[in-house]
Amino acid sequence: MVNEQRSIGIVMNGVTGRMGYRQHLVRSILAIRQQGGLSLPDGTVLWPEPILVGRSESKLQTIAKEHGLDRWTTDLDEALRSGAEIYFDAQVTSMRSEGVRRAIDAGLHVYTEKPIAEDTEGALELGRLARSAGIKAGVVQDKLFLPGLRKLKRLVDGGFFGRILSVRGEFGYWVFEGDWQEAQRPSWNYRAEDGGGIIVDMFCHWRYVLEDILAPVRSVQALAATHIPERVDEQGRTYPATADDAAYGIFELDGGIVAQLNSSWATRVFRDELVEFQVDGTEGSAVAGLRRCRVQHRSMTPKPVWNPDLPATEDFRGQWQEVPDNTEFDNGFKVQWEMFLRHVACDEPFPWDFLAGARGVQLAELGLESAAEGRRVEVPELTL
Ligand SMILES: NC(=O)c1ccc[n+]([C@@H]2O[C@H](COP(=O)([O-])OP(=O)(O)OC[C@H]3O[C@@H](n4cnc5c(N)ncnc54)[C@H](O)[C@@H]3O)[C@@H](O)[C@H]2O)c1
């Protein structure tokens, strides 16, 4: 029996960018096509048809040609009128609200990169518009699908930690200034006026990572820094960095859990992965990264004695055990895309709606407020 195929048009705005191209077009939508489409519970196969949207005809043409696609345009409204069912946005953050708003007005379901807007009120407004238009709306929360964090969640769900006490997270790497070696991130990331800054970028992620895996965030205290005051952009022009490139945050979670998360584009990596979280609990601890997760149970905890007169004799890292995968982990962006497509096509649940997106924006906004005022800030509940 041949399964029936159903095409679903997806307007993809911002596919010439880093995230839009690599993670969303190539590693998600084209990967779904390469696997033969997405099977739905009723046996239908959903076939995504991307319509590429961007500002540069030549870039769009090149991408389309390289991947054998024939639908692309620089005219967003034309794309929105093409009969597509979903609008996806991976543009620079400052352009997001406008694109999403136009898509909602046109009656499309919307899936978008984070942050969903530049401020909390703007994010909630999009949520209200989506609700009154009766469309489905979702936000990318990719870190939840990282193998390391999925294993961490499994440990939490299985009660491994006992009472969770604290979390220490290190995220970051050196982003070149652009003079001597080309920067590996776009220059707008370092300009506040263009929606840049590491707090805006990363606190959206920290909100759902902490809440979906551990517990609700009740307060934030952040210290922001612009360690590198001047950088060189894509055109070789020197510009002042007006946004924070490092943030040192302390978050209080329900249950008395304290999370300390450092985010920095001005640090050099002496870790096993670009992000790592250590969770300490009364019964055991874990260190989770992008892919790996290691644990040390209470029963296996050594008893080091402080003695700086002698060189360390214990191999502390060797005293941890690797948590097995026990499953196959697909690309996290693709897994979440498949969930959103099923949400649209057959109403399967998708918990990461615009309210979830607004909560991420809220933590970033309050983090900036805390940094500017030098004080701890409560995180109030949000409703649409
Ligand atoms: N989920 C994640 O892990 C993750 C990681 C990085 C970035 N992001 C988000 O994805 C979005 C895109 O980030 P990126 O790193 O791919 O950026 P990028 O600069 O590589 O791409 C930006 C895209 O926006 C388009 N654009 C539209 N209007 C623009 C304008 N006025 N100026 C410049 N570009 C404009 C560009 O053409 C390009 O396609 C951001 O909102 C960012 O927060 C998410």
Each residue's pLDDT tens digit, 118-154: 999 999 999 999 999 999 999 999 999 999 999 999 9
For 265, other C-beta atoms within 10 Å of its C-beta total: 25
| 346 CA to centre of ligand 1 in angstroms | 30
**Model confidence band, residue 261 (pLDDT cutoffs 50, 70, 90):** very high
Quote the number of domains for the chain: 1
| 159 found inside a domain | no
| 78 found inside a domain | yes
- CB of 16 within 6 A of ligand 1: the answer is yes
| 58 found inside a domain | yes
In the predicted model, what is the mean pLDDT of residues 275-294?
98
Calculate the CA dihedral of residues 283, 287, 293, 295 and round it to 10 degrees.
-30
- pLDDT confidence of residue 320: 98
Closest-lying ligand 1 atom to the alpha carbon of residue 19 = 16
In the predicted model, what is the mean pLDDT of residues 321-342?
97
Calculate the CA dihedral of residues 357, 360, 364, 367 and round it to 10 degrees.
150
Each residue's pLDDT tens digit, 148-167: 999 999 999 999 999 999 99
Of all residues in the chain, what percent carry a pLDDT higher than 90?
98
| 248 found inside a domain | no
Pairing of β 230-232 and β 238-240: antiparallel
Structural domain boundaries, residue 30: 5-142+332-361
- Are 79 and 53 a contacting pair, CB within 8 Å? yes
Each residue's pLDDT tens digit, 89-110: 999 999 999 999 999 999 999 9
Q: Residue 31 pLDDT > 80, yes or no?
A: yes
Q: If you average pLDDT over every residue of the chain, what do you get?
A: 97
- pLDDT confidence of residue 218: 98
| 140 CA to centre of ligand 1 in angstroms | 13
- CB of 93 within 6 A of ligand 1: the answer is yes
- pLDDT confidence of residue 2: 64
| 198 CA to centre of ligand 1 in angstroms | 14
| 108 CA to centre of ligand 1 in angstroms | 21
Q: Residue 283 pLDDT > 90, yes or no?
A: yes
Of all residues in the chain, what percent carry a pLDDT higher than 70?
99
- CB of 362 within 6 A of ligand 1: the answer is no
CA distance 22 to 276: 23
Each residue's pLDDT tens digit, 182-215: 999 999 999 999 999 999 999 999 999 999 999 9
| 280 found inside a domain | no
- CB of 360 within 6 A of ligand 1: the answer is no
DSSP per-residue letters across 173-227: -BPP-SSSS--SS-GGGG-GGGT--HHHHHHHHHHHHHHHHT--EEEEEEEEE--
- pLDDT confidence of residue 1: 56
DSSP state of 266: B
Ligand 1 atom 21, closest CA: 17
- Are 79 and 4 a contacting pair, CB within 8 Å? no
| 201 found inside a domain | no
167 forms beta bridges with 259, 279
**Model confidence band, residue 3 (pLDDT cutoffs 50, 70, 90):** confident
The distance from CA 74 to its chain's CA centroid, rounded to whole angstroms, is 26
- CB of 89 within 6 A of ligand 1: the answer is no
- CB of 140 within 6 A of ligand 1: the answer is yes
Residue 348's Cβ-side half-sphere holds a number of Cα atoms within 13 Å equal to 13
Ligand 1 atom 35, closest CA: 92
**Model confidence band, residue 313 (pLDDT cutoffs 50, 70, 90):** confident
Pocket of ligand 1, candidates 12, 15, 16, 19: which has the most ligand atoms within 8 Å of its Cβ, to mutate? 19
Take residue 103 and report the two structure tokens written for it: 């898509």
**Residue 246, CA distances (Å) to 88, 89, 184, 202 in order:** 29, 26, 16, 10
Q: Residue 357 pLDDT > 80, yes or no?
A: yes
- CB of 90 within 6 A of ligand 1: the answer is yes
Residue with tokens 């601890």: 285
Pairing of β 72-73 and β 164-172: unpaired
| 96 found inside a domain | yes
| 96 CA to centre of ligand 1 in angstroms | 9
Instruction: Read off the CATH number of the domain in which 64 is found.
Output: 3.40.50.720
| 62 found inside a domain | yes
Each residue's pLDDT tens digit, 41-55: 999 999 999 999 999
- CB of 9 within 6 A of ligand 1: the answer is no
